[in-house]
Amino acid sequence: MDASRNPEYLRKTAAAVTEFKEAFKSFMDFHVETKDFPVGRGTLPAVIVRQGVEHDELQAAAARCARAAGRASVAPGLTRMYIGVAGFPEPVDPIAAWRSVAIPKPVLEPGDVLDSVEQILGRLEALTDKAEAELPPTTGVEAMHPTVWGAARRLWLDGHFRLAVQSAAETVTSQLKIRTGLASMDATNLYEKAFAIRNPLLTWPGDGSDRTVSSMQNGLAKYAPGVNMTVRNTATHAASDVMTAQQALERLAALSLLAHWIDECEDRFESGSTDHA
């Protein structure tokens, strides 16, 4: 997914820009601007070190600012925020060029850096709002079985719908393998054995002679392997196929229902045993 459409990434980028802004302001606390000096503007650095500042303090502030600038380096590109400077053929990156305020013939002045940073933050907020508005609908998805939504969430929000379904299906299968002790069994055989008509490993709670209990048990014997073959297998093996949000939503719902029913079932094997033949 394009990073400019990922709200979480945009928020992290904004946090990095804010960190840079604070680091730059701290760096400026050790300096005084030269714009009001009677001579030298344009030739002198835009800032000079205040009297009495310790070299180690200045170096630490500069290092912090440089590190923060690196962390925020993608922000100007994401927001297309650059500064046109006379004599320079290309617009200037205000974050990358922050150090120029302290060298002769500075490219930028402190106000240029801080004003640009505020515009970058504003544009990132606008991009985040737009990205959130364009996210696929999540109504109902987040309320699905926690195993399903937990495995699918990040991929779903990034727009990787087929991979979200695949991840959820694999996680449901993995948890069933752990529960039954059949870690080495392939998924289809696992579901068939877990809900076998004869000697199932998992049974629907209640009296087996009850029609509802019997119906659920017989239904799970068909539904569980069926979901595995139609949902998990197709999401895993059809790697080149594009899955829409609606198609993924329906498949996640099928997995969620299966996960809830598995939770309700009772074990019919010795806990911790790996031999259920």
pLDDT bracket for residue 211 (50, 70, 90)? very high
Q: Is-above-0.85 flag for pTM?
A: no
Give the pLDDT confidence score for residue 159 in this predicted structure.
Answer: 83
pLDDT bracket for residue 276 (50, 70, 90)? very low
Checking if the pLDDT of 277 tops 50, the result is: no
Cβ(224)–Cβ(191) under 8 Å? yes
Give the pLDDT confidence score for residue 240 in this predicted structure.
Answer: 63
Give the pLDDT confidence score for residue 39 in this predicted structure.
Answer: 62
pLDDT bracket for residue 175 (50, 70, 90)? very high
Q: Please give, one letter per residue, the 3-state secondary structure of the chain.
A: CCHHHCHHHHHHHHHHHHHHHHHHHHHHCCEEECCCCCCCCCCCCCEEECCCCCHHHHHHHHHHHHHHHHHCCCHHHHHCCCECCCCCCCCECCCCCHHHHHCCCCCCCHHHHHHHHHHHHHHHHHHHHHHHHCCCCCCCCCCCCHHHHHHHHHHHHCCCHHHHHHHHHHHHHHHHHHHHCCCCCCHHHHHHHHCCCCCCCEECCCCCCCHHHHHHHHHHHHHHHHHHHHHHHHHHHCCCCCCCHHHHHHHHHHHHHHHHHHHHCEECCCCCCCCCC
Select the more confidently predicted residue: 70 or 137: 70
Give the pLDDT confidence score for residue 136 in this predicted structure.
Answer: 66
User: How much is the average pLDDT of 241-246?
Assistant: 82
Give the pLDDT confidence score for residue 6 in this predicted structure.
Answer: 84
Give the pLDDT confidence score for residue 132 in this predicted structure.
Answer: 82
Q: What are the tokens at 174?
A: 């993995």
Give the pLDDT confidence score for residue 1 in this predicted structure.
Answer: 53
Give the pLDDT confidence score for residue 68 in this predicted structure.
Answer: 97
Give the pLDDT confidence score for residue 35 in this predicted structure.
Answer: 84
Give the pLDDT confidence score for residue 41 in this predicted structure.
Answer: 65
pLDDT bracket for residue 272 (50, 70, 90)? very low
For 131-145, the pLDDT digits (tens) are 888 776 655 677 899
Lowest mean pLDDT of 125-134, 172-181, 191-200, 233-242, name the range. 233-242
Give the pLDDT confidence score for residue 5 in this predicted structure.
Answer: 78
For 244-265, the pLDDT digits (tens) are 888 999 999 999 999 999 999 9
Select the more confidently predicted residue: 139 or 13: 13
Give the pLDDT confidence score for residue 7 in this predicted structure.
Answer: 86
pLDDT bracket for residue 38 (50, 70, 90)? low
User: How much is the average pLDDT of 8-22?
Assistant: 95
Give the pLDDT confidence score for residue 147 in this predicted structure.
Answer: 95
Select the more confidently predicted residue: 260 or 85: 260
pLDDT bracket for residue 42 (50, 70, 90)? low
